[in-house]
Structure 1
């Protein structure tokens, strides 16, 4: 693997970096006399917080102007007639959001935050009855998910024994699909709900959503299947409707580049909303923004839920958040969508893998020596079982932070304006995104990793 090969691949696969604001050495406050302060960083952290689309600044400014010029009247009379009045501000986002997760437009809504939405969906879909009281999910799920699952069973009067957690077998770095299917078979008579991540945040494993969902339904259609798509939405192609998923939740500040703490999204299969009416609906956490918009401002004490996932909205959405999400989704639409980006992503991540595995510091996953200096890849090496993230574990481990290998490597990367995501004690997550990362950047980032390890080896 060479710099020349990287440049050849960059000529073949376009980058859309010019649509994003990229931090520089100067803006990051990094002083390195080998680089001009205006040199852009190599940003491999879109799996944690995506870069800001340049247009986002303008669309937010437009709404601040509306607020300044018309105040509350912008809800129904926006000063810029080319823009949406605030009362309907999130509706133009729906047709942009649906293709991201492979849904019909009546199956998605922009609302809330990831865990708040997950809790709202759990209270609606977790229906323990008889022996079917348990939730199947992964051990070492993102802590928010664990807290949500723990508290939902407790709210229904159960304890931790009603949580079934799966973890990788000894010596494995990720959870094999066959083990998930086996657990479903073993617990099919006591499961009320199954909920896994679309992509595991720590290892980067892309779960086989369709296969797992359909297997659950083949065992017992009454078991509800949900997915946390925080690391999958905008990263890999999804077909939630066709796969028969009951519900899903995701954030939009990672691969969807909508800003820190940005508004999140939900999917609810249309079978649960198409028959909504004043007299027939499944109870859920509700508010006035889920009510029929034609009746909303009559302030009636009568819940008439919208016949779509919009009925799960509780409050009027944050205008500034909504337009930030829309700004990013328009970029996805412009470049051809997630499936088109996935073509480059597979090649780009494979390029990263090939660079890493060609290093003298690479340690195979089945090598049990934890004292050897180097790194191993925790993420599945099968392209179909991952998104764009590779999780790299550095060793050996030292308790003292100043001596630990991962900390040394991460510090060296940061000094060279290569922005990654560290996960203590020993992992750095590298995520080259097809939207704004290049093969050349990926090549340079790996060379910096090797340089850092060379320096450690000299003093090891």
Structure 2
């Protein structure tokens, strides 16, 4: 197999001699094209973030919140949308399913999932026809694997990531067992070379080549949660499909973080959560994508012909949904994969978050993300102690990462470092034994916050020495 040409969109940034100063960081914030979006979020104060009892948001010094890769901050619109839902339920009860109220930011509950899908479609590069809203990421992954993982004795393997998020690993393992196969034989792990963390596209393609004749499905993360690597989804999808394989993606860390073109990349299916970069709240209702070719519904007389899926009431055609005749006529598109009545209060929270995201574009978000992350990388590599006690294991190529940098510390330093970060009102994420994940989010984080974080980080390293 020859080398693969990978498209490059981002140029690695360089910074001037005065870039390590607070004044320079503040000058970047003054020119930030997205600076007004910060006002659309509730930023916890340092006092809030340390609270041990329920409290109200206050307006004292804000914390530095670099944990949007685990849970995004609350949009101010969320309270309006959730209260609208509660008021609708309190005043018109069951009629809320079908009645569009004037002056409401939301539509009737019966159409709310489709409305959310329409709002989410540009974020993942798909048509509204190809996007659905339901359940949770893991539930949706199970549901879609019921349709797209159809193994045989000869082709039963799933090609997956070496360090899959546990819920993905458990899902894949249980699906394989459910079909009567041994996960030890059917799970093909793609990992980096020894001592490395980045996995080259060439290596992924070579593994696909090696196992294509015995593989039923390729299922990878768009962005690897541990290292923050953004895989070349377009190239990998096309290559696997050229070998006759179906391709699915877990976009938990990619949706709302990096530009995606699921339809144009010809992806078969994908799933994502909405509580990270889409800011819909903890455990919020999730999203999924099914390419339009897999959502077609044709008829042989009165008999529908469609791709097999685990069917449910809300996957049925809206026109006949209330006929209660137990004849399943699937809705065309991704909505035909829905299985139950979605939670309206979850949808209210999601729609509130999407109302903010849709005031910008993934192109604008990406523009800031590349520079914000590059500035964090620059400060870490140029201002930290000379005997640097860490290694950035996220790719240095801007095309191969989102907004997260994963920092691998020398052993035994993570607890001291995190204690100092928490004392300073900084929220990041640790993955034991030695990795911290730092994710400055373009919608609400600033360059000055990046600068302040690095000062505390460096002081903590000195204390650990």
Do structure 1's residue 139 and structure 2's residue 162 form an aligned pair?
yes
* Per-residue deviation, 1:12: 1.8
Q: Tell me the residue number matched to 2:268.
A: 246
Instruction: Please give the per-residue CA displacement for 1:215-252, whole angstroms capped at 9, x wherever unaligned.
Output: 111222xx110000000000000000010100000000
Q: Secondary structure at the match of 1:380?
A: coil
Q: 1:103 to 1:79 in 2, by over 3 A?
A: closer
Correspondent of 2:305 among 257, 275, 280: 280
Q: Does 1:380 align with 2:391?
A: no
Contact 1:153 1:159 in 2 (8 A): yes
* Cα displacement string for residues 323-354 of structure 1 (whole angstroms, at most 9, x for unaligned residues): 2111111211112x111110010011000000
Q: What are the equivalent positions in structure 2 for 1:57-456 lying under 5 Å apart? A: 57-77=79-99, 80=102, 82=104, 83-160=106-183, 161-220=185-244, 223-277=245-299, 278-335=303-360, 337-361=361-385, 374-395=389-410, 397=411, 404-456=412-464
In the alignment, the residues of structure 2 paired with residue 388 and residue 75 of structure 1 have an alpha-carbon distance, to the nearest angstrom, of: 39
**TM-score, normalising length: structure 1:** 0.91
Q: Which deviates more, 442-451 or 169-178?
A: 169-178
Cα distance, 1:423 vs. partner? 1.0
Judged with a 3 Å threshold, the aligned counterparts in structure 2 of structure 1 residues 360 and 442 are, in CA distance, closer, same or farther, namely closer
CA distance in 1, matches of 2:165, 2:404: 16
Instruction: Return closer, same or farther for 1:27/1:276 CA change in 2, 3 Å cut-off.
Output: farther
Residue matched to 1:29: 50
**CA–CA separation in structure 1 for the residues paired with 2:328 and 2:225:** 38
C-alpha separation in 2, matches of 1:94 and 1:138: 28
Provide the alpha-carbon RMSD of the alignment.
1.6
Stretches of structure 2 that go unaligned for 5 or more consecutive residues are 1-19, 53-57
Which of 18, 26, 44 is equivalent to 1:7?
A: 26
The alpha carbon displacement at 1:426 in A equals: 1.0
**Matches of 2:439 and 2:338 in 1, distance apart?**
32
For residues 37 and 454 of structure 1, what CA distance do their matches in structure 2 show? 32
TM-score by length of 2: 0.90
The residue aligned with 2:7 is none
- The Cα of 1:98 is off from its aligned counterpart by 0.6
User: How many Å separate the matches in 1 of 2:43 and 2:338?
Assistant: 34
The gaps in structure 1 that reach 5 residues or longer are: 363-371, 398-403
* 8 A contact 2:121–2:131 mirrored in 1: yes
2:40: which partner in 1? 19
List 4+ stretches of structure 1 deviating above 6 A: none
1:356 positional shift: 0.5
Separation (CA, whole Å) in 2 of partners of 1:423 and 1:268: 32
CA shift for structure 1 position 56: 0.3
C-alpha distance in 2 between matches for 1:281 and 1:274: 6
Q: Counterparts of 2:246 and 2:121 in 1: how far apart (Å)?
A: 21
Secondary structure class of the residue paired with 1:5: helix
Q: Residues of 2 paired with 1:282 and 1:415: CA distance? A: 54
SS at match of 2:138: helix
Contact kept? 2:190, 2:204, Cα under 8 Å: yes
Q: Note the C-alpha offset of 1:79.
A: 5.1
Deviation at 1:30, TM superposition (A): 6.1
Query: 1:199·1:387 contact (CA, 8 Å) conserved in 2?
Result: yes
Question: What is the CA–CA distance in structure 2 between the aligned matches of 1:37 and 1:72, rounded to whole Å?
Answer: 39
Give aligned pairs, total.
434
Contact 1:197 1:228 in 2 (8 A): yes
Cα gap change, 1:425 to 1:270, in 2 (>3 Å): same
